[in-house]
A and B are shown apart, each in its own frame.
Chain A
Amino acid sequence: MTIIDSFKMAIDSLGINRTRSALTILGIVIGITAIMMMMSIGKGAENLILNEIGGLGAETIIIRPGKEPTGPSDLGNTLFSDSLKKRDLEFLKRKENVPELVDVMPAIIVPGSVSFEGETFSPDIFGGSAEFFSQAFGVFPEEGVLFDESDIKGRASVAVIGSKVRTELFGNDSATGKYIRIKDKKFRVVGVLGERGQTSFVNFDRVVIVPYTTAQTYLLGVDYFHEIITKATSPDVVDRTARDIEATLREAHNITDPEKDDFFVVTQQGVVEQIQTILGALTAFLSSVVAIALVVGGIGIMNIMLVSVTERTREIGLRKALGATEKDILMQFLFEAILLTAAGGLVGIILGALFSFGAAFALKQFGGLAWQFVFPVSAMLLGLGVSALVGVVFGLYPARKAAQKSPIEALRYE
């Protein structure tokens, strides 16, 4: 008997009990669907996040005040810490302190809304340098200009706005030269950024950028920064530059023990690694849940196969009387189990791909995310492999039981 014979026999037997076969594989279908969706959505999320970070450039280094948060409760410390101030900028800009630093920009986050003649909109308001933002993220004004160093030095009430902000406040009219209100302060719009969309956690269509000095003095009344964004000369020197920054700031803040740092440095590489760690842990957790689902599905298959072996005792006896060896019978029943689980795997892969595609579509269409559907080839191969393996593992016991039946007991069975 050849493999093809075993295969044909298995298909014939399964075809006789179609409904039962279909119900039997449900557990495997669900398990493999879950694997596919998990991998597709996980990969999609990773791509989305990495793309956002990628927009910032690998040479970017961010300095945040306070202690590095180790959990959600620490976030408050960061937002309300006032350790980063103007003098730090001077220290960082000195070439002898941080030789490979190209540019430094302090950033202020201003909560609130903007209004123009009765139209109100809640954008993301940043105090910073329009030129730095423009260069770092590759966004350029499509109308007007960016404010410059002199505006920052002079605490000018000027603003650069995103395209969405413009349409919300001005409709189709030109925005430059008009005055908008932020927290009862008037700002003159000098430029409108081109459409850019979401990048690096910032939607540049929804931003309002004002000089950080103006934001500190007139909008928030503070003398510290929420973060300092810096750029190293190249991605290769990021680690060294990050260490230089730490050393410089410790000196500036009179800190000797690194444990007592009142700031922390975030590199893009670090963020990427962190996110990958989190996603990896999440995937591992979900995988274990799916593994349990597959084991349960496998036990279901084993159960049905055992019932089937008992039901078909006569058939087994007959086959043995006609010259089937134990191996022939074993192969026949094993193939049935593998065929069942592999079919389950295949259906699961198709359903998983469809659902993931649907989820990606929904996230893109209704969630406004730049989500890309990922067809997880590795998950597909894994799904097929795992489902076949489940068939082997859980089909072996019933198949052995079938193979070991004595032909005479089997023929007598009524």
Chain B
Amino acid sequence: MNLIKARNIEKIYSDGTHALHGVSFDIKEGEFAAIMGPSGSGKSTLLHIIGFLDTQSAGEYYFNGKSFLDYTPDEVAHIRNQEMGFVFQMFNLLPRATVLENVTLPLVYSSVKGHLRETLARKAIESVGLSHRAEYEAFKLSGGERQRVAIARALVNKPQIIFADEPTGNLDTKSGKAVMEIIERLNEEDGHTIVLITHETHTAEHAQRIIKILDGKVESDEVVGNRYHAREHFKK
């Protein structure tokens, strides 16, 4: 089933910038897709629209068969909370809150009861290998650790899809590899649908499929023949 269905999506910002010129593609449940393009190509705009953070100016977009317009603002918030996970380039953690508190945040906005929250959050932290940092304040962590906290936060509500916007953009090569390894594992072992936004070919090649965006249009949409596996890379 197509989890994401985008048809002729246009985006014109209020300042007149024409960011997207009719973008169409589908992403299936369980798929690991990369949206690749240079900066200014419109890939972040596209992510915002498919992540229900923004609305398109024209065209149609369906998530799980329903359009943004079918939902009330509270329902949209609920979908972002329950079915979507976000990982940003700038990590976007609450710097003065602990790792545990940061990962708990999506649970606070869900209906999960207090005592269960910590259990779930600790599990998510464990899955990114940061249990020993759970009580640290976020600003004391390294970039790579911060991004892993952000991933734990994205998956704590067990969403159907995880959107990762340049997750390795602010990391050194080694930390970037570790982050990509976790993202791969989320897809392969836990069955999360992943949409990865990146401008780097070698990062995009972790995905099963690359949708190339240039000047607000889909330039190519191809399956990756020779996938790049972070774990294998480490073995070398």
Task: State the A residues within 8 Å of B (CB).
Answer: 1, 5, 9, 12, 16, 314-315, 317-328, 406-408, 411
**If A1-B109, A5-B108 touch, does A322 touch B81 (CB 8 Å cutoff)?**
yes
Knowing A1-B109, A322-B109 touch, does A12 contact B97 (C-beta < 8 A)? yes
Kindly report which residue of chain A lies nearest to residue B97, judged by CB atoms: A12
A322 touches B97 (CB 8 A): no
Which of A315, A321, A325, A411 has its CB near the most chain B CB atoms (within 10 A)? A321
Chain A hits for B153, CB < 8 A = 322
Q: With a CB–CB cut-off of 8 A, which chain B residues contact A321? A: 51, 53, 80, 86, 92
Contacts of A407 in B (CB 8 A): 53-54
A323 and B54 form a contact (CB under 8 A): no
Q: Are A323 and B110 in contact (CB under 8 A)?
A: yes
A322 to B77, CA, bound (A): 8
Partner of B109, one of A315, A317, A324, A408: A324
Tell me the smallest distance from the CB of A177 to a CB of chain B, in Å. 86
Q: Which residues of B contact A327 (CB under 8 A)?
A: 74
Contact B54 A322 (CB under 8 A): no
Interface residues of B in 27-58 (CB under 8 A from A): 48, 51, 53-54
A-B contact pairs, 18 of them (CB 8 A): A1-B108, A5-B108, A317-B92, A319-B105, A321-B51, A321-B80, A321-B86, A321-B92, A322-B153, A323-B78, A323-B81, A323-B109, A325-B73, A325-B74, A325-B78, A325-B109, A408-B53, A411-B53
Which residues on the B side are within 8 Å of A325 (C-beta)? Answer: 73-74, 77-78, 109
Q: Cα distance A315–B97 when bound, in Å? A: 12
Q: Across the interface, which residues of B come within 8 angstroms of A315, CB to CB?
A: 94
B92-A314 in contact (CB<8A)? yes
- Taking residues whose C-beta sits less than 8 angstroms from the other chain, chain B's interface range is 20 to 34
Q: Looking at the assembled complex, report how far the CB atom of B86 sits from the nearest CB atom of chain A, in whole angstroms.
A: 5
Residues on the B chain within 8 Å of A324, using CB: 77, 81, 109
From the candidates B53, B54, B73, B108, name the one contacting A326 in the complex (CB within 8 A). Answer: B73
- Chain B residues in contact with chain A, CB under 8 A? 48, 51, 53-54, 73-74, 77-78, 80-82, 86, 88, 92, 94, 96-97, 105-106, 108-110, 153, 157
User: Considering only CB atoms, which chain B residue lies closest to A9 in the complex?
Assistant: B108
Give the CA-CA distance A215 to B159 in the complex, in Å. 101
Given A408-B53, A408-B54, decide whether A320 and B97 contact each other with a Cβ distance below 8 A. no
Q: Which A residue's beta carbon lies closest to that of B111?
A: A1
Q: Which residues of A contact B92 (CB under 8 A)?
A: 314, 317-318, 321, 411
Smallest Cβ distance from B63 to chain A, in angstroms?
14
For A323, give its contact among B77, B88, B94 (CB under 8 Å).
B77
| Complex interface: chain B residues within 8 A of A314 (CB) | 92
Nearest-neighbour CB distance to chain B for A401, whole angstroms, equals 16
Determine the chain A residues whose CB is within 8 A of the CB of B157 once the complex forms.
323
Complex Cα distance, B77 from A327, in Å, reads: 11
- Cross-chain contact of B106 among A12, A322, A408, A411 (Cβ < 8 A): A322
Among residues of B, the one whose C-beta sits closest to the C-beta of A318 is B92
Q: How far is the CA of A9 from the CA of B97 in the complex (A)?
A: 10
Residue of A nearest to B73 (CB): A326
CA–CA, A208 to B173, complex, Å? 102
Chain A residue numbers with a CB within 8 Å of B80 are 320-323
Instruction: Determine the distance from Cα of A324 to Cα of B108 in the docked complex, in whole angstroms.
Output: 9
CA separation between A407 and B81, bound complex, in Å? 13
Give, as a whole number of angstroms, the nearest-CB distance from B134 to chain A. 17
Give the Cβ gap from B132 to chain A, nearest Cβ, in Å: 23
Residues B88 and A319 in contact, CB atoms below 8 Å apart = no
Measured between beta carbons, the chain A residues less than 8 angstroms from B106 are: 322-323
Enumerate chain A residues within 8 angstroms of B97, measured Cβ to Cβ.
12
| Alpha-carbon distance A111/B74, docked complex (angstroms) | 83
Known A-B contacts A408-B54, A411-B53, A411-B92; A322 and B105 likewise in contact (beta carbons under 8 Å): yes
Name 5 extra pairs, CB < 8 A, besides A318-B92, A411-B53, A411-B88. A314-B92, A319-B105, A323-B157, A325-B77, A411-B92
**Complex Cα spacing A145 to B74, Å:** 90
Please give, as numbers and ranges, the residues of chain B lying within 8 Å of A323 by CB-CB distance. Answer: 77-78, 80-82, 106, 109-110, 157
Q: How many whole Å from A281's CB to the nearest CB in chain B?
A: 51
Check if A322 sits within 8 Å of B86, measured CB to CB: yes
Chain B residues contacting A326 (CB-CB under 8 Å) are 73-74, 77
Instruction: Give every chain A residue within 8 A of B77 (Cβ-Cβ).
Output: 320, 323-326, 328
In the bound assembly, the distance between CA atoms of A317 and B109 in angstroms comes to 14
Q: Are A408 and B48 in contact (CB under 8 A)?
A: yes
Cα–Cα, bound, A12→B97 (Å): 8
CB distance from B57 to the nearest CB of A (A): 14
A16 to B78, CA, bound (A): 28
Q: Which A residues are in CB contact (< 8 Å) with B88?
A: 411
Shortest CB distance B68–A (Å): 13
Q: How far is the CA of A324 from the CA of B48 in the complex (A)?
A: 16
Roughly how many angstroms separate A227 CA and B99 CA in the complex, as a whole number? 83
- Inter-chain contacts of A12 with B (CB < 8 A): 96-97
**B197 CB to nearest A CB, Å:** 13
B199 vs chain A, min Cβ distance (A): 17
Q: Return the chain B residue nearest A17 by Cβ.
A: B96
Contacts of A322 in B (CB 8 A): 80-81, 86, 105-106, 109, 153
In the bound complex, how far is the Cα of B153 from the Cα of A118, in angstroms?
94
CB-nearest residue of chain A to B47: A408
Q: Least Cβ distance of A298 to chain B in Å?
A: 27
How distant is the Cα of A389 from the Cα of B106 in the complex, in angstroms? 31
Q: How far is the CA of A351 from the CA of B109 in the complex (A)?
A: 39
Q: Determine how close the nearest CB of chain A comes to the CB of B54; give it in whole angstroms.
A: 5
Bound together, the chains give a CA A326 to CA B75 distance in angstroms of 11
